[in-house]
Chain A
Amino acid sequence: MASKIKVKAKLSGDIADIKSLMIHPMETGARKDPETEELVPAHHITQLTFTNNDKTVMVANFSTAVSRNPYFSFKFSGAKAGDTLKASCVDNLGGTDELETVLK
């Protein structure tokens, strides 16, 4: 299955500017299904981790209060062209997803 994470990385000098987007419903567990009137169980990303050449550069912990299809951006230094940036996420139901990009 194709990864549901999208990552855009921009290098300026040794600083990498990372913008990421995940496709995920981020259900809070408090919403009712309009047809069945039953609560939709919580289903959300709990943790998003970025590693650059196996060095962890960011750990983001999400609750249900992060919007559907989460957007997240950050910057880190010590990056160079050719580095492998890996984004991986885990959700509360044990689902996982990951994506690798090469910085340029």
Chain B
Amino acid sequence: MHVGRRFFLRSGVALAALAALPRVLLAAAWPDKAFSSSAAGEAMVDLLGTDQTIPSDQIKLKLPVIAENGAVVPVTISTSLENVESISIVVEKNPRPLAATFEILPGTAPEISSRIKMGQTSDVMAVIKTDSGIYSTAKEVKVTIGGCGG
């Protein structure tokens, strides 16, 4: 099939515009700045407006004591706190400490599990935002083989 040069150029521009679109839409929702912070405190200020949290024993943070493989560290967070708005996972010594953040919508239980990467032995913090404040609990995980580029 013969495709004119003009047409080819024009369709290329249209495709590029299409490809850029979802990223623009995404930028509004995905907390880019918090995720690219290299300090845990800074990331929390960007995400939640403060790095001051209230230690709480109502948060259950399930993590292995020793992670043999830092590339796959299972983590489960649940809480009995009420009116939870979001749950975030912060790995203090990772190059990018904020690992993930989950929006808890009405009707959704404040209970999530996932698997994260850890570069080295570090404290892992579960940060829970409720309508009455920001609560957290932390646990240390010993990593024997790092999961970031190693």
Contacts and interface: CB of A to CB of B under 8 A. Distances in A.
A74 B94 contact: no
A90 interface: yes
Contacts of B111: 74-75
A67 B26 CA distance: 21
B98 A63 contact: yes
A45 to B, nearest CB: 10
Interface stretch (B5-13, B16-24, B135-143): B16-24
Contact of A64 (B23, B96, B113): B96
Contacts, number: 113
A77 B110 CA distance: 11
A78 interface: yes
Chain B interface size, as a band, is 35 or more
A15 interface: yes
A27 to B, nearest CB: 10
Contacts of A3: none
B26 A46 contact: yes
Interface of A: 15, 28, 30-32, 46-47, 56-68, 70-78, 90, 92, 94, 96
Interchain residue pairs A-B with the least CB separation, the first 8: A65-B99, A75-B109, A67-B115, A59-B103, A76-B108, A31-B149, A63-B35, A30-B149
